[in-house]
């Protein structure tokens, strides 16, 4: 009898061992398959504390769901929409327990946390955001808990709780954003992460604010959770957007700004554009420009009539010296024409065989050809097929690659060239004016993006001074980094304003009046106009980015310039102005009271060549465009 009992007991152990082994495999495979096809968990918890996961879909949804799954592989950050589910009774096998009795179902989005416990085996304790009764623990006697969590991470962000290292907080991305995510960029054949890592400027110009909206929403999690620490958000964004790491420490020379009484903002008036007659009055018989400060002030207050732009922009951009005679400018043009065509001949004479062995030149050409075909095509100067304006745009950008091969071509530079070529209507003049403009904008396009990081920090400093309450509101909505202003700064509002308004804004900024970094005050003026709506409507992070993005082509340039100048005067009149703000705007205590703008011109630095000065008030070495030494001009 004892022998018979021994064999019965031994057989029972073998059956149990086979059952648990098959159960482990079934659990792992079901988890992987299920998480690829849905975001709703159907779990069956057994009385013996082992667990498996099952998925069921309504028959009518199966083909649609498979199509979505296939698309998710093609778009790296594409989210799979939830589908409707129905309960399916679990079939009982020999030796199995009653599964239906212990079945439980919940959505991944309902999860608040998962606690990992060890007692000889791993078991997980799931907590829902709203649950009257606790969920039973999910035990993994034969392993598989790690695979379960790794698969879950595809649909939720799991972060360690600051209070309990064994507890993982669960947050899920916004569903509405995930459904429309593929529409954010023009080209859906590449994933977002791939686009950012390959070239951050491409993704930025394609809809940066919307993309950042999605990224932040995925990182922030549900509103019920505590706010993610700023340094953690910055680190995560830095992984997705190369070159945009934010230093959490105070920048050297920047003090913390507290609430300061700036006084009343003065009202300013704009004037009429500078006419041909007015311009002519500022020339002597030999063609030298006279009374230049007054002329610059007049251009700042009203801009230029279009007939004068072709000549005036050459002075504003530094192509022509202000004190040069007409004959000297003619000689300079002849010299610059020869230099331009020598550089153009360099890339024109490269054979196909040579280009096959020059990957950088090949990549530059490819990017330029793509950008040229989609730059300002609604403008009559560039519209249509085989437009000569497009050919000039292409040739100038290719020649610039030979002029500055270290930087070469970066997407977005065509946006800066297009208005200049439109005004100049001359290949050589447009090239050298573009070179001067790129000397100001160079750091925006360098690999380390030092110019962009500096400007975002400076803009945040100015906004804190002007309206601390508004800045605190943005900070509370994870918007304190002001990433929604990225495109404004990168290409100087080129995508935010109409073509004619861009011409007016650029020529005003090129006067270098009324202060250094006036373009940052333009940003402040736009935000000042929108802050009431943002705060009254209690916009969250998503709504702020959506609202700012929708301002494109709806802005009044004259109103913006008027408000920006008023902000400059308001800040300048402040007695206790923080030193950091004085540095950003180039203010000096010994500014002449006769200054016509009332704001003062930037203090004169030591004599340097114009090409060494970046638009952010930084000095840049000539020897290498990739290694920039940054110092504030004071």
203-253 residue pLDDT tens:
444 444 333 443 444 444 444 344 445 554 455 445 444 445 444 444 444
User: Does the structure show a pLDDT above 70 at 264?
Assistant: yes
User: Does the structure show a pLDDT above 60 at 7?
Assistant: no
611-625 residue pLDDT tens:
333 434 443 434 333
Kindly indicate the confidence band of residue 60, based on its pLDDT and cuts at 50, 70 and 90. Answer: very low
Q: Which range has the worst mean pLDDT, 152-166, 324-338, 368-382?
A: 152-166
Kindly indicate the confidence band of residue 452, based on its pLDDT and cuts at 50, 70 and 90. Answer: very high
Which range in 205-209, 440-444, 593-597 is most confidently predicted, on average pLDDT? 440-444
Kindly indicate the confidence band of residue 256, based on its pLDDT and cuts at 50, 70 and 90. Answer: low
For the record, the structure tokens of 431 come out as 């090239």
User: Does the structure show a pLDDT above 80 at 92?
Assistant: no
CA–CA gap between residue 603 and residue 584 (Å, rounded): 12
pLDDT at 493: 96
Mean pLDDT of 46-55: 41
Q: Could you tell me which residue, 72 or 508, shows the higher pLDDT?
A: 508
Kindly indicate the confidence band of residue 142, based on its pLDDT and cuts at 50, 70 and 90. Answer: confident
Cross-strand pairs, 170 = 158
Nearest CA to 93 among 5, 13, 16? 16
Q: Which range has the worst mean pLDDT, 42-51, 132-141, 287-296, 503-512?
A: 42-51
User: Does the structure show a pLDDT above 70 at 102?
Assistant: no
Mean pLDDT of 595-600: 44
568-584 residue pLDDT tens:
999 999 988 999 999 99
Mean pLDDT of 498-506: 97
Nearest CA to 297 among 481, 71, 508, 45? 508
How far is CA 439 from its chain centroid? Answer: 22
CA–CA gap between residue 98 and residue 209 (Å, rounded): 52
Q: Could you tell me which residue, 358 or 157, shows the higher pLDDT?
A: 358
Q: How many CB atoms lie within 10 A of CB 541?
A: 20
Q: Which range has the worst mean pLDDT, 113-127, 277-291, 469-483?
A: 113-127
User: Does the structure show a pLDDT above 50 at 279?
Assistant: yes
CA–CA gap between residue 153 and residue 140 (Å, rounded): 18
pLDDT at 619: 38
pLDDT at 121: 80
Which domains can be identified in the chain, with CATH numbers?
108-171 (no CATH), 179-187+230-247 (no CATH), 276-444 (1.10.8.270), 450-585 (1.10.472.80)
User: Does the structure show a pLDDT above 90 at 491?
Assistant: yes
pLDDT at 382: 94
Which range in 191-195, 256-260, 459-463 is most confidently predicted, on average pLDDT? 459-463
Q: Which range has the worst mean pLDDT, 214-223, 266-275, 470-479?
A: 214-223
pLDDT at 9: 55
Do 415 and 206 form a contact (C-beta atoms < 8 A)? Answer: no
Kindly indicate the confidence band of residue 505, based on its pLDDT and cuts at 50, 70 and 90. Answer: very high
Kindly indicate the confidence band of residue 73, based on its pLDDT and cuts at 50, 70 and 90. Answer: very low
Do 299 and 508 form a contact (C-beta atoms < 8 A)? Answer: yes
Pairing of the two strands 122-128 and 103-107: unpaired
156-210 residue pLDDT tens:
778 888 778 788 888 765 443 333 333 333 443 334 444 444 444 444 444 443 3
Kindly indicate the confidence band of residue 132, based on its pLDDT and cuts at 50, 70 and 90. Answer: low
In 73-166, DSSP assigns E strands to: 103-107, 111-118, 122-128, 138-140, 157-160
Dihedral sign from CA coordinates of 219, 224, 225, 226? positive
For the record, the structure tokens of 183 come out as 């529409």
Q: How many residues in the chain?
A: 634
Which range in 14-28, 129-143, 304-318 is most confidently predicted, on average pLDDT? 304-318
User: Does the structure show a pLDDT above 60 at 338?
Assistant: yes
Q: Which range has the worst mean pLDDT, 319-333, 445-459, 514-528, 595-609?
A: 595-609
pLDDT at 217: 44
For the record, the structure tokens of 240 come out as 């997705």
CA distances, 215 to each of 71, 171, 208, 600 (Å): 19, 13, 10, 41
Give the 3-state DSSP-derived string for 296-362, with helices as H, strands as E and coil as C.
HHHHHHHCECHHHHHHHHHHHCCCCCCCCCHHHHHHHHHHHHHHHHHHHHHHHCCCHHHHHCCHHHH
pLDDT at 16: 54
Mean pLDDT, rounded, of the chain: 74
pLDDT at 37: 43
pLDDT at 522: 98
**Torsion of Cα atoms, 299 then 305 then 311 then 312, to 10°:** 10
Do 161 and 70 form a contact (C-beta atoms < 8 A)? Answer: no
Of all residues in the chain, the percent with pLDDT exceeding 70 is 62
User: Does the structure show a pLDDT above 80 at 268?
Assistant: yes
Q: Which range has the worst mean pLDDT, 61-65, 305-309, 328-332, 348-352?
A: 61-65
pTM over 0.85: no
For the record, the structure tokens of 520 come out as 């940052």
């Amino acid at each position: 009898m004892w022998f018979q009992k021994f064999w019965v007991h031994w057989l029972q152990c073998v059956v149990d061992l086979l059952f648990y082994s098959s159960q482990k495999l079934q659990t792992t495979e079901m988890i992987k398959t299920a998480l690829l096809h849905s975001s709703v968990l159907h779990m069956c918890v057994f009385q013996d504390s082992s667990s498996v996961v099952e998925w069921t879909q309504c028959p009518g949804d199966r083909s649609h769901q498979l199509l979505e799954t296939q698309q998710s592989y093609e778009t790296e950050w594409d989210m799979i929409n939830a589908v409707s589910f129905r309960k399916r009774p679990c079939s009982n096998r020999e030796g199995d327990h009653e599964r239906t009795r212990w079945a439980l179902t919940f959505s991944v989005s309902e999860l608040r946390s998962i606690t990992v416990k060890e007692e000889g085996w791993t078991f997980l304790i799931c907590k829902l955001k709203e649950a009257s009764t606790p969920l039973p623990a999910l035990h993994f006697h034969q392993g598989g808990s790690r695979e379960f969590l790794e698969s879950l991470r595809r649909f939720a962000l799991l972060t360690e709780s600051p209070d309990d290292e064994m507890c993982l907080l669960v947050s899920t991305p916004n569903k509405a954003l995930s459904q429309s995510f593929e529409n954010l960029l023009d080209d859906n054949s590449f994933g977002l992460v791939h686009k950012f890592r390959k070239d951050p400027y491409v993704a930025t110009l394609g809809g940066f604010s919307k993309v950042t909206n999605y990224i932040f929403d995925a990182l922030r999690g549900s509103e019920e959770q505590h706010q993610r620490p700023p340094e953690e958000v910055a680190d995560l964004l830095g992984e997705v957007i190369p070159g945009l790491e934010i230093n959490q420490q105070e920048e050297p020379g920047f003090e913390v700004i507290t609430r300061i009484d700036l006084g009343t903002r003065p009202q300013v008036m704009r004037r009429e554009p500078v006419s041909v007659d007015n311009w002519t009055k500022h020339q002597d018989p030999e063609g030298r420009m006279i009374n230049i400060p007054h002329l610059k002030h007049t251009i700042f207050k009203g801009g230029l009539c279009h007939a004068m732009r072709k000549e005036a922009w050459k002075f504003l951009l530094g192509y022509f010296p202000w004190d040069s005679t007409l004959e000297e400018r003619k000689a300079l043009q002849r010299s610059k024409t020869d230099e331009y065509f020598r550089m153009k001949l360099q890339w024109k004479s490269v054979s196909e065989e040579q280009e096959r062995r020059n990957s950088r030149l090949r990549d530059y050409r490819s990017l330029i050809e793509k950008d040229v075909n989609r730059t300002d095509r609604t403008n009559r100067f560039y519209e249509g097929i085989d437009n000569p304006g497009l050919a000039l745009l292409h040739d100038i950008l290719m020649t610039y690659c030979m002029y500055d091969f270290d930087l070469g071509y970066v997407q977005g530079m065509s946006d800066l060239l297009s208005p200049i070529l439109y005004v100049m209507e001359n290949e050589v003049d447009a090239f050298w004016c573009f070179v001067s403009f790129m000397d100001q904008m160079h750091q925006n396009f360098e690999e380390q993006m030092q110019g962009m990081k500096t400007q975002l920090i400076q803009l945040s400093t100015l906004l804190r001074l002007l309206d601390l309450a508004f800045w605190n509101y943005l900070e509370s909505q994870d918007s304190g980094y002001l990433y929604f202003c990225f495109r404004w700064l990168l290409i100087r509002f080129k995508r935010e304003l109409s073509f004619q308004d861009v011409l007016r804004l650029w020529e005003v900024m090129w006067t270098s009046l009324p202060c250094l970094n006036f373009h940052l005050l333009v940003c402040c003026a736009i935000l000042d106009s929108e802050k009431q709506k943002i705060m009254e409507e209690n916009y969250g992070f998503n709504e702020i980015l959506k609202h700012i993005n929708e301002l494109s082509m709806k802005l009044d340039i004259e109103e913006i310039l008027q408000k920006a100048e008023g902000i400059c005067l308001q800040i300048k009149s402040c007695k206790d102005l923080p030193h950091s703000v004085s540095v950003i705007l180039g203010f000096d205590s010994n500014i002449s009271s006769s200054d016509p703008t009332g704001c003062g011109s930037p203090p004169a630095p030591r004599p340097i060549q114009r090409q060494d000065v970046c638009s952010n008030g930084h000095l840049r070495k000539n020897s290498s465009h990739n290694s920039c030494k940054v110092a504030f001009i004071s």
